[in-house]
Structure 1
Amino acid sequence: MWTDPVTGRQAFLVIDRLIRGLASGGLRMREGCTYEEVRRLAAAMSVKEALHHNPADRHIPMGGAKGGIDCDPLSDEAPGVLARFLSFIRSYLENNWATGDDLGTTTEAIEDVLDGLGIDGCIAPVMRVVDDPIAARKRFDEAFSVEVGGIGLAELVGGCGVAEAVLAALDKDGIPRNTATAVVQGFGSMGGATARFLHEAGVRVVGIADVHGTVANPDGLPVEDMLRDRLRHGLVNRERLRAGDVLLDRDDWLALQADVLVPAAASYAIHAQNESRISARYIVEAANLPVTADAEASLHKNGVLTIPDVVANSGTNAWWWWIVFGDVLPEAAPSFAKIRTSLRSLVTETLDLAAETGTTPREAAHRVAEARRETLALRPELS
């Protein structure tokens, strides 16, 4: 734990485990961020890394870590707090912790600070284990310069993975895409991208929620138009809504009739006090920790399956390292293809194991991760 000498704000770095001296995980900033929250996120990162271990890939999974800053990211003091915290933990950033953006931060802002500290970017620690650090950095920079429809590829890969997790669940249940419905809470980079890929796949997005409320239409929302008109900070432009679009309260997205709910905003959005409103078949976690443990257990008893964040939103982290290690070209088509293949396989395996063992998908995902770690331990590079 670190306390900022200027503002009194607190920040946390938790390294859950190291593999080859390395751990991967983002840095978040939000008012009220706690040590326990960061600890849970770091543990989840260890699972995400393990789940994407493929002996055929050059990428060797790392351990998990997470950083968190208790500060409003939109406040005037936020940039200074970020800079001072990163300066305080610079040795970890140079040697152990490969980080990036998370809730309330951007990779660009983090890298600007690291550049001022003389650290070669967010992925600096990983450069000592890649075959060609110059080529790896070049691939990484190229990938972050790619745009698809005016949006950066790096902003789209996470939503592509979440959408594929949704589609894999629907396909497993035999629900046709052209009759399936979904609600997305959060319309920023993750929520917006998820909505876009679901819409492209033929799923009807019947509700989108932001901090100001929920926009709903049982006939489906015009996702592409809403993305084009989207305001800063992931806000729906309510001046451009159509006849038939209904404005509801902020938490009413929970009760909308849909096959899938996608919480893609804040942590702990679904909890014991509101989970009874949900009638969807699936909750697919695009955000980190959006469903509390007690709510998830209650929902599971009532037949609502939660595809956990360690599975559903793991595509972004995996994509970073596939690019760096050269498992995928820094281009849109191969990036989307590998994410879709990996997420579909992972969701199917997780749901199959959950059904076979009578456990939740989260418990099944942790079992899959442990099996991956056993395989990982046999790699000669780690001996």
Structure 2
Amino acid sequence: MNSSAVEETLSSNLYVQQVKKLYNVGKILGLNEDVLDTLAQPERVIQVKIEIKGKDGQVRTFMGWRSQHNSALGPYKGGVRYHPNVTQDEVVALSMMMTWKNALLLLPYGGGKGGIRVDPSKLTQDELEQLSRRYVGALYKYIGSDIDIPAPDVNTNPQTMAWYVDEYIKITGRADYAAFTGKPIELGGLPARIYSTGLGVATTARLAAEKVLGGIEGARVLIQGFGNVGSFTAKFLEEMGAKIVGISDIKGGVINYNGIDVKKALEVKDNTGSVFNYPDGKKVTNEEFLVSDCDILIPAAIENVIHKFNAPKVKAKLIVEGANGPLTADADVVMKDRGIMVVPDILANAGGVVGSYVEWANNKMGEIMDEEEARKLIVSRMERAFDYVYTKYNKLGDQDMRTAAMAMAIERVVNAMKVRGKL
């Protein structure tokens, strides 16, 4: 099987991968099959059909979903992605991961996730607005600041959230600005939210590097994916003294062991549409990029890019998951056997939902926190969560960081379900 066929096969079963990880950890915790079966299934999945009229007068139909996985700890919370490969299973898997992420960070949320199967690059701005408003129109009964709080994800942004808010208020008559996070600043958005995920990834990379490498300064870092998460991760790590030696996007990667100038890379991306056009360095494919020499590898693009076929070739000493689910369950086993620490997604990229939490609380209580305070809170929450997980990791002994993180999160959810009478 060639590499593209392997990736296609693996990327289609994110839900299977997440359930496998859940059952592995559940057995370590001594949870019975009934409890694990309950945790593996979402409480509700809503499927919607969205029809919009294009400039040519033709009606186009798109499928969308919202998965509400678990509400034991609070309202559902998670982003909405627009992508041509979105499936119901993917959305359910991501909502499950949000449940663990929110529980791990001690946030008052359950897990949710949404998606529309669409290639947004093929829609005009007017068509994107129609699509976004009709998605909310189909889901408004199930959304609210105390019910389910969507946010941006892949190919969605503050403008998308502005359309969501406006449509929600128009339909319900409720000025519930806290029903969505990741909004423009003019609508109660948080300045720190735009970079909060990258800040969280960089913070956990710094903390893990202190444990594995003796420190972040001078560490050679490869970042696969240079969107919002990857670019801000690169910026913050560069400020911390790390050396960014490779960056990539969908077109491929550039590696330069003398170091890549992050500001220059952002300019190249803005001017040409791809960091692959960065002028100084060796051009490589994404497959080659993932197995290139480095101290820290940060996969910050899509799920399941590191799997049992390429995991044995990875040369990094430390992996920090900027994306959701970039390693398969099989890859986890390989990394554990090889002694390579993996900082799992539910910890590493949780800075985004911490930022969303601050925005939500600000909207609910009247803008009580400014950007600098929010930034400090994001860093302190990430530091505290890392310390908790690292302590659990050491207590468990022969387990990896993902097992430690998921064990803590699952225990918190299960305990909440028990005291509420749900188990």
What displacement does 1:86 show? 2.1
Structure 1 residue matching 2:60: 3-state secondary structure: coil
User: For structure 1, which segment, 353-362 or 304-313, has the greater mean C-alpha deviation from structure 2 after superposition?
Assistant: 353-362
Distance in 2 separating the partners of 1:140 and 1:317: 20
The code of the aligned residue for 2:49 comes to: T
Distance 1:220 1:21, change over 3 A: closer
Q: Is the 8 A contact 1:143 1:331 kept in 2?
A: no
Deviation of 1:329 (Å):
5.6
Structure 1 residues 154 and 20, CA gap change in structure 2 (3 angstroms): closer
User: What per-residue deviation string (whole Å, max 9, x for no partner) do you get for residues 92-134 of structure 1?
Assistant: 12462101100111132132144134254663289xxxxxxxx
Q: 1:360 to 1:43 in 2, by over 3 A?
A: same
Q: CA shift at 1:263, angstroms?
A: 1.0
C-alpha RMSD over aligned residues: 3.0
Q: Which amino acid aligns with 1:321?
A: Y
| Corresponding position: 1:104 with 2:104 | no
Quote how far apart the aligned CAs of 1:339 are.
Answer: 1.8
1:227 maps to 2:266: yes
Q: How far has the Cα of 1:262 moved from its partner? A: 0.7
2:304, 2:325 within 8 Å by CA — same for their partners in 1?
Answer: yes
Which range moved further: 251-260 or 329-338? 329-338
Write the distance in 1 (CA, Å) between the matches of 2:74 and 2:388: 29
Pair 1:287 & 2:316 matched: no
Deviation at 1:142, TM superposition (A): 5.3
Q: How does 1:314-333 map to 2 (within 5 A)?
A: 314-326=350-362, 330-333=369-372
**Residue aligned with 1:47, SS:** helix
Aligned residues: 354
Residue aligning to 2:178: 123
Change (3 A) 1:85 1:325: closer
Aligned twin of 2:95: 42
Q: TM-score, normalised by structure 2?
A: 0.75
Q: How far, CA to CA, are the matches of 1:101 and 1:91 in structure 2?
A: 19
- Cα distance change, pair 278–138 in 1 and its aligned pair in 2 (3 A): closer
Aligned partner of 2:138 in structure 1 is 88
Counterpart-to-counterpart distance in 2, 1:329 and 1:198: 29
Pairwise CA distance, 1:354: 2.2
Whether the aligned pair in 2 keeps the contact of 1:140 and 1:320 (CA below 8 Å) is no
Q: Tell me whether 1:73 sits opposite 2:120 in the alignment.
A: yes
- Structure 2 equivalent of residue 202 of structure 1: 241
Pair 1:177–1:113, CA change in 2 (3 A): closer
Measured against aligned partners, the alpha-carbon deviations of 1:223-282 in whole angstroms (never above 9, x if no partner) come to: 1222244327973272x523xx22222322212211111111122222233223211122
The aligned counterpart of 1:56 is none
Displacement, 1:196? 0.4
Q: Distance in 2 between matches of 1:195 and 1:249?
A: 20
Deviation (angstroms), 1:141: 4.4
Question: Equivalent residue for 2:109?
Answer: 62
Structure 2 counterpart of 1:303, which letter?
G
Tell me, in whole angstroms, the C-alpha distance in 2 between the residues paired with 1:215 and 1:333.
34
Q: Distance in 1 between matches of 2:147 and 2:188?
A: 24
Change (3 A) 1:34 1:143: closer
After TM superposition, the score normalised by the length of structure 1 is: 0.83
User: Contact 1:261–1:280 (CA<8 Å) still a contact in 2?
Assistant: yes
User: Residue 187 of structure 1 aligns to a residue in which SS?
Assistant: coil
* Equivalent position of 1:3 in the other structure: 49
- Rounded to whole Å, the distance in 2 between the matches of 1:114 and 1:190 is 24
Q: C-alpha displacement at 1:319, in angstroms?
A: 1.7
Q: Does structure 2 conserve the Cα–Cα contact (< 8 Å) formed by 1:206 and 1:220?
A: yes
Q: 1:258 to 1:352 in 2, by over 3 A?
A: farther
Extract unaligned runs of 5+ from structure 1: 54-59, 127-136, 147-152
In 2, distance between residues paired with 1:296 and 1:344?
Answer: 23
* Compared CA separation, residues 246 and 125, structure 1 to 2 (3 A): closer
For 1:175-214, what per-residue CA distance to the aligned partner results, in whole angstroms no more than 9, with x for missing partners?
2322311110111111000000000000111100111111
CA distance in 2, matches of 1:229, 1:298: 36
The answer to whether 1:184 aligns with 2:223 is: yes
Q: Which amino acid aligns with 1:9?
A: F
Q: Cα–Cα, structure 1 residues 374 and 43, in superposed 2: closer, same or farther, change >3 Å? A: closer
Equivalence for 2:43: none
Residues 159 and 379 (structure 1 numbering): CA distance in 2 closer, same or farther, change over 3 Å?
farther
Counterparts of 1:303 and 1:206, CA distance in 2: 23
Match of 1:250 among 250, 272, 286: 286
Q: Measured at CA, do residues 75 and 138 of structure 1 come closer, stay the same or move farther in structure 2, by a change above 3 Å?
A: closer
CA contact (8 A) 2:296 2:318 kept: yes
* Alpha-carbon distance between aligned partners in 2 of 1:234 and 1:306, rounded to the nearest angstrom: 31
Indicate yes or no: 2:75 matched with 1:22: yes
Identity rate of aligned residues, in percent? 26
Q: 2:304 aligns with which of 263, 268, 279?
A: 268
8 Å CA contact 2:204–2:386 kept in 1: the answer is yes
